[in-house]
Amino acid sequence: GAGVSQSPSNKVTEKGKDVELRCDPISGHTALYWYRQRLGQGLEFLIYFQGNSAPDKSGLPSDRFSAERTGESVSTLTIQRTQQEDSAVYLCASSSLAGVPLGTDTQYFGPGTRLTVL
């Protein structure tokens, strides 16, 4: 079946511009997550959605970052007034929380969007 998809796969932008990154989770997955991976580093958590609410936004690095989710479907991560330090791969994941103990669900990752801010 279809996995998590993200678009665009690559985005090059100029410093100060706004960008929107899109994530399509696996159909039926209640939970959706955004992460950032800087070059040579592990994943940095950004935000978690359960349905269309975001119980945990603690990883968003600044108020330039925001995210929305429509129902249990598409999510958009928006970065306003991009800075060079925003350059990274942005990864989206989704999981089904149904019938599993808290914290044991498997997150399925998309291929990521590589953002380059010039």
Q: Indicate the SS3 state at residue 84.
A: helix
Q: Are 25 and 117 in contact (CB under 8 A)?
A: no
Work out whether 25 is an interface residue with other proteins (CB under 8 A).
no
Site for other proteins contains 112 (CB under 8 A): yes
Q: Give 17's Cβ-side CA count (13 Å radius).
A: 12
21 binds other proteins (CB under 8 A): no
CA 116 from chain center: how many Å?
Answer: 16
Using CA atoms, how far apart are residues 36 and 19, in angstroms rounded to an integer?
15
Q: Decide if residue 1 touches other proteins (CB under 8 A).
A: no
Exactly one of 2, 41, 70, 84 binds other proteins (CB under 8 A); which one?
A: 41
Q: Judged by CB under 8 A, does residue 55 bind other proteins?
A: yes
Answer yes or no whether residue 20 interacts with other proteins by CB under 8 A: no
SS3 61: coil
Give me the residues that bind other proteins (CB under 8 A), please: 3-4, 31, 33, 41-43, 45, 48, 50, 55-56, 91, 93, 97, 101-112
